[in-house]
Amino acid sequence: MNSSGSASRSVFSTHGAASGAARRDSAPQSPSPLYGLALAVVVGIIAMALGNWVPLIGGPVFGILLGMAYRNTVGVGPVFAPGLKFASKQVLQWSIIALGFGLSLGEVARTGLGSLWVTLITMTAAFVSAWLLGRWLGIPSRLKTLIGVGTAICGGSAIAAVTPIIKPDDHETAFAISTIFIFNIVAVLLFPPMGHLLNMSDAGFGLWAGTAINDTSSVVAAGYSYSTAAGDAATIVKLTRATLIIPVCLVLAFIVAWREKKQGTQGFSLARIFPWFILWFLVASALRTSGLIPESLNSSLHLLAEFLIVVALTAIGLSSDLRRMAHAGIRPVLLGLGVWLSVAGSSLMVQHLTGAW
- Summarised one tens digit per residue, pLDDT across range 206-249 is 999 998 888 777 888 889 889 989 998 898 888 778 777 767 87
Q: Which of 39-53, 93-107, 318-332 reaches the highest mean pLDDT?
A: 39-53
User: Where does 198-296 have alpha helices with state H?
Assistant: 202-212, 216-226, 228-242, 245-260, 270-273, 276-290
Name 217's Cβ contacts closer than 8 Å, sequence gap at least 6.
60, 88, 92, 184, 309, 312, 313, 316
- The verdict on residue 292 lying in a domain is yes
Confidence band for 260, pLDDT divided at 50, 70 and 90: low
- The vertex-196 CA angle with 193 and 197, nearest 5°, equals 85
Task: Give the lowest-confidence range in 15-29, 167-181, 199-213, 314-328.
Answer: 15-29
Whether residue 19 is predicted with pLDDT greater than 60 in this model: the reply is no
Report which of residues 91 and 354 the model is more confident about: 91
Q: Which range has the worst mean pLDDT, 92-106, 165-179, 213-227, 326-340?
A: 165-179
pLDDT at 122 over 70: yes
- Domain annotation covers residue 62: no
**Does 22 score more than 90 pLDDT?**
no
Q: Where is mean pLDDT largest: 9-23, 180-194, 198-212, 236-250?
A: 198-212
pLDDT at 13: 47
pLDDT at 105 over 90: no
Residue 266 reports pLDDT greater than 80: no
Residue 201 contacts residue 233 (beta carbons within 8 Å): no
Does 163 have pLDDT greater than 60?
yes
Residue 70 lies in a domain: no
Of the chain, the percentage scoring pLDDT greater than 90 comes to 18
Residue 259 is predicted with a pLDDT of: 67
- pLDDT for the residue numbered 115: 73
pTM: 0.63
Question: Which residues, other chains included, contact 57 with Cβ-Cβ below 8 Å and sequence gap of 6+?
Answer: 50, 51, 225
- The reply to whether 89 falls in a domain is no
- Confirm whether 34 is domain-assigned: no
Number of domains observed in the structure of the chain: 1
31 in a structural domain: no
- Is 1's pLDDT higher than 50? no
Q: Is residue 63 part of a domain?
A: no
User: Is residue 51 one of the residues assigned to a domain?
Assistant: no
* Residues of the domain holding 233: 105-308+324-354
pLDDT at site 35? 93
